[in-house]
Structure 1
Amino acid sequence: MQTNLADFIKDTREGREADAILRSCVHCGFCTATCPTYQLLGDELDGPRGRIYLIKQVLEGKTPTAKTQLHLDRCLTCRNCETTCPSGVQYGRLIDIGRKVVEERVPYSFATNLKRTALRELLPRKWLFTPAMKTGQLFRPLLPKSLQNKVPRKENAGAWPTRAHARKMLLLDGCAQPAMSPNINAATARVFDALGVQLVVAPKAGCCGAIRHHLNDHDGALDDMRRNIDAWWPLVEAGAEAIVMTASGCGVMVKDYGHLLAHDAKYADKAQRISDLTKDLSEILPAFELELQIRLNGKIGKRVVYHPPCTLQHGQQIRGKVEGVLRAVGVDVQLCKDSHLCCGSAGTYSVLQPELSYQLRDQKLANLEASQPEMIVSANIGCLTHLQSGTDTPVKHWIELIDKALSAAH
């Protein structure tokens, strides 16, 4: 694709990156076949190729409109198009650049801006979000359905292991997940403890930066990243083997720290080291498959269907590992029809684009429940909460299955 970027962007870091991405697109349109919003709306501008053209026009100096903004905001950033693209177009990075430029020129309405600001300022701050979530859970039966969908029922996290082990790994506690489902990280710590690995949480680490980044507050997101690097670095230097991610949405973000902070002389090398150490849970546990198999084979009798989050299968390009671990320990796990498609959660998308989000959720649940599973499992807090809001079938993080079975085996 030929480009001629406008003066305001062409010599900037973002401009050079966008130019390279635009030039790699060959207009083939393969991406439209796997774009969830294009499938729903049938509009070229609600597919990756159309959005790429819109971004190109804006970066070349055309004045964006509210319609431009709408088409870009309807994108889930699921990155299914990246998996499909034969040319390796890094669409996820391009859409982040394009959205930020458009927002600078097309202000949101007061109501929309208020909602986006609330999400950007509340969710990443654990000291604000946790008491808000606890209050919501306390009064959950009185809340309207739209709010109940965002407030999972309170669950008992169980005990955090206290044994020390020679092998140590860091665990990102995160911002939203500890309040919404504290049992996920606790279950992960118990599983690792049983395998002789101690998971350590750095107290000053917090939001990975994804929320602010995808809401166009790129500077705020970089501050989140720097804070996490500072919090983790002493433990990295002390020999932590990896930084474990139990939420794939956080994992894909932290793995991008090296790229996003490459311009920062103080943090560039540290950021790349952090990205290199970052591993999704499903990348670590295959090394322990044999031990888990010996302990658990035949002890998990549930019929399970697995929803692979977009941030895992498309963002991190990790496929097959969760299913492999579960099958190794005897779980009857299946994938559903169109398992490559997004469930509609997509971070804050379900709040900002509820109509499309719930259409995608209902389509996904219909496919997931077609095999009449006893449980739906996934690997990201957003997917878990979103899917559970539309079904009575239990929706759990897959590590909770293993934790429960290990506890029962003792």
Structure 2
Amino acid sequence: MQTAFTADQLQQPDVAHSEQIIRKCVHCGFCTATCPTYVTLGNELDSPRGRIYLIKEMLENDRPADDKVVTHIDRCLSCLACMTTCPSGVNYMHLVDHARAHIERTYKRPLADRMIRTILAMTLPYPARFRASLTLARLGRPFAGLFDAVKPLKPLAAMLKLAPMSMPKKSVVNEPGVRKAEGARVKRVALLRGCAQSVLDPKINEATVRLLTRLGVEVVVPEGEGCCGALVHHMGQEEPALDFARRNVDVWMREIERGGLDAIVITASGCGTTIKDYHHMLRLDPAYAEKAARVSALAKDVTEFLTDLELPAPRDVGPIVVAYHSACSMQHGQRVVRQPKALLSKAGFAVRDVPEGHLCCGSAGTYNILQPEIADRLKTRKVKNIESVSPHVIATGNIGCMTQIGGGTKIPVVHTVELLDWAFGGERPALLG
């Protein structure tokens, strides 16, 4: 794609990087076949190719974002299916991230939108605040229907509907400390406890620690680690996202210097995609560029890390059919595709691929709150495809997908690592009865 940026514009590193990305696009349209919003809405401007045109025009003309641009960029899930499909290597992720930051700087959103985004940014990344907000949300659930009838407040209604009816207790596994390996230590890792996941489902990290320590891995939950920054990053809040990234880089570098780390193990694939991109996010910061690159290189999804370990013979789990839902951030963001299914098969489960597995379930971080109508359509489509393979259980590697899909089916939804922990000597997941 030809561009017409000025020499002065190209002096700005983010603009120069975006220009290189745009020039790689050859208008082929392969991305339209795998883009969930284009498949759902049928609007060219709701495809990656259409959004690239909008971003190009906005950045080339150095103009503030307008309603049209914001509407179509906001509808993007950042599922990154387009990047898996693109034959030209267009890094759509970095381009849309830049566009969102530009929108945040130059566009004033309607009051209700600003209010909801502020609530999300001030609560979700902070476990204590998030836990308190879920308590309030449960009290507000009876009013969800009233909010749903007012279009600007639909995200607030979605927020209330997503609040769980009961809250799991806090888990000691998420408290800072060292969990010693059983027997001889073969590896030492830091575990990202996460923010929303640690509140919504602490069983995931409990299963991870049990499994890893049985396999001879020492697990460290460092003091001071916080949100990966993905949530605010995808809302265009660039500086808060970089602050979260710097904080975590500092924490993990201290652990590297203290006792060494073989990996930073991540059990929420959305977080993994962001942490693996710290090297890009902090590339212009001379104090952090090298450290961030080191951290990104150590970041591994738990299934990536387990693939390199020697596993014992699994117990007999019985004839259980597992529908494996590959989260977008896993298959498209991190390109971790083979490992989770191979591990589940090795553990003795009958693994089924889901039809249209490349399409997003509609969770996408806060998308199911901010774009509830599109998210609901995607959830319905995803659940129909999953149920078509008649599984006993659904496995996935992302808490957002677990929440989204679980709201549309009676089939149990568990994290992949919970099944692996059970098969290799741990507890049977409670949802399986």
User: By the TM > 0.5 criterion, same fold?
Assistant: yes
Partners of 1:242 and 1:279 within 8 A in 2? yes
Matched with 2:13 is 13
C-alpha separation in 1, matches of 2:50 and 2:83: 15
- C-alpha deviation, 1:314, in angstroms: 0.4
In the alignment, structure 2 segments of 5+ residues that lack a partner are 146-157, 429-433
How many Å separate the matches in 2 of 1:67 and 1:158?
45
CA shift at 1:328, angstroms? Answer: 0.6
Q: Which residue of 2 is the match for residue 314 of structure 1?
A: 332
| Counterpart for residue 207 of structure 2 | 187
Distance in structure 2 (CA, Å) of the matches to 1:154 and 1:302: 28
The reply to whether residue 149 of structure 1 matches residue 162 of structure 2 is yes
RMSD: 2.1
Residue pair 1:69, 1:103 contacting (<8 A) in 2 also: no
- Closer, same or farther: CA 64–157 of 1 in aligned 2, 3 Å: closer
Residue 371 of structure 1 aligns to a residue whose secondary structure is coil
* Equivalent residue letter for 2:314: R
Of all paired residues, the percent bearing the same amino acid is: 42
Match of 1:302 among 320, 331, 343: 320
With the length of structure 1 as denominator, give the TM-score of the two structures: 0.93
Query: 1:96 maps to what in 2?
Result: 97
The 5 A counterparts of 1:114-263 are: 114-133=115-134, 136=137, 144=144, 146=158, 147-151=160-164, 153-155=166-168, 160=173, 162-164=179-181, 166=185, 167-237=187-257, 238-263=259-284
Answer whether contact 1:304 1:332 (CA < 8 A) is retained: yes
* Structure 2 counterpart SS, 1:67: helix
Rounded Cα–Cα distance in structure 1 between residues aligned with 2:131 and 2:385: 33
Give 1:173's aligned amino acid: R
Cα offset, 1:7, TM superposition: 7.4
Contact 2:267/2:397 (CA < 8 Å) preserved in 1?
yes
**Is the contact between residue 171 and residue 199 of structure 1 (CA under 8 Å) also seen in structure 2?**
yes
**Mapping 1:319-334, distance limit 5 Å:** 319-334=337-352
Task: Report the TM-score, using the length of structure 2 for normalisation.
Answer: 0.89
Matched, 1:386 2:404: yes
Which runs of 5 or more structure 1 residues have no equivalent in the other structure? none
In the TM superposition, what is the alpha-carbon distance from 1:335 to its structure 2 partner? 1.0
Residues 220/63 of structure 1: CA separation in 2 closer, same or farther (3 Å cut): closer
Take 1:275 and 1:408, find their aligned partners in 2: how far apart are those partners? 32
- After TM superposition, the structure 1 stretch with the greater mean CA deviation from structure 2, 181-190 or 3-12, is 3-12
Aligned length: 405
Q: Note the C-alpha offset of 1:168.
A: 1.5
Give 1:126 deviation, angstroms.
2.2
Q: Which amino acid aligns with 2:129?
A: L
When residues 214 and 6 of structure 1 are mapped into structure 2, their CA distance, relative to the original with a 3 A threshold, is farther
Q: State yes or no: 1:269 paired with 2:270.
A: no
SS in 1 for 2:88: coil
Question: Using a 3 Å threshold, how does the CA distance of structure 1 residues 159 and 231 change in structure 2: closer, same or farther?
Answer: closer
Secondary structure, counterpart of 1:317 in structure 2: coil
Question: Cα gap change, 1:50/1:365 in structure 2, threshold over 3 Å: closer, same or farther?
Answer: same
> Cα 1:180–1:408, aligned 2, differ >3 Å: closer, same or farther?
closer
